[in-house]
Amino acid sequence: MLDNHATRRAEDPWRVFKIMSEFVESFDTLSKLGPAVTIFGSARTNPSDPYYKAAVAIAEGLGRNKIATITGGGPGIMEAANRGASKVKGVPSIGLNIELPFEQKGNRYANLGINFHYFFTRKVSLVKYSLGFVFMPGGFGTLDELFEVVTLVQTQRIPAFPILLYGSTYWEGLLDWVKETLETSRMISPGDLDLLQVKDDPAEIVEAILDFKRVVGVPEQVPAAFR
């Protein structure tokens, strides 16, 4: 086992090239997109679930306003969002898929897909080219992505893009804990919780994104392949 560990460590410098190739491919592809929003959520949500249906509606609504949808490319909420985006002709439906031994496989509704081996390169790509973030109900992965995005905005590493949580019933326990424990203990500053907006209507999610887009004046740009 020690020999295997030593071998892996010896190979680490060469992994930089694989990491670099994932950044180059994703940056080259996504930099050509127009306005896009990333939708996060559980891979375990089935098509009969109301949250699945809401994700379809949100992505379709964004698409009808010429805003592309980016997801993690897998099943569940990711599939739902790609499915909604794919209903609108000429708008990219992007799936950034991760290689996992279980659960994750690319969904058929992404008309532009990129495969990743490393979570951190994928996470950068999920954030870098979005003008807003929608968080549907999800598990550890979704929470990881939520707090990563909130931290980036809180520390001003990225602009104050809309961070939208869909489903007040699902999120209220977490938000209560953040307010009553983190804010009370001064682990976060007063007002940090205001970075999150909770919505219960897909149309309100779309309108919040459009409001932000109008304020910042994001230019329209649809890749030629999708016109």
pLDDT at 8: 66
- Whole-number percent of the chain with pLDDT over 70: 89
pLDDT digits (tens, 9 = 90+) for 21-55: 999 999 999 999 999 999 999 999 999 999 999 99
The Cβ of residue 111 has, within 10 Å, a number of other Cβ atoms equal to 15
pLDDT digits (tens, 9 = 90+) for 128-178: 999 999 999 999 999 999 999 999 999 999 999 999 999 999 999 999 999
Rounded distance, CA 109 to CA 111, Å?
A: 6
User: How many DSSP H helices and E strands does the chain contain?
Assistant: 7, 7
pLDDT digits (tens, 9 = 90+) for 70-86: 999 999 999 999 999 99
- Is 224 among the domain residues? no
Burial of 203 from C-beta contacts in 10 A (0-12 / 13-18 / 19+): exposed
Domain extent, residue 194, equals 2-217
- Is 225 among the domain residues? no
- Is 222 among the domain residues? no
The Cβ of residue 43 has, within 10 Å, a number of other Cβ atoms equal to 22
pLDDT at 216: 84
- Is 226 among the domain residues? no
Instruction: Indicate the number of domains in the chain.
Output: 1
pLDDT digits (tens, 9 = 90+) for 85-98: 999 999 999 999 98
Q: DSSP 3-state assignment of 144?
A: helix
The answer to whether 99 and 75 have CB atoms below 8 angstroms apart is no
CATH number, domain of 153, equals: 3.40.50.450
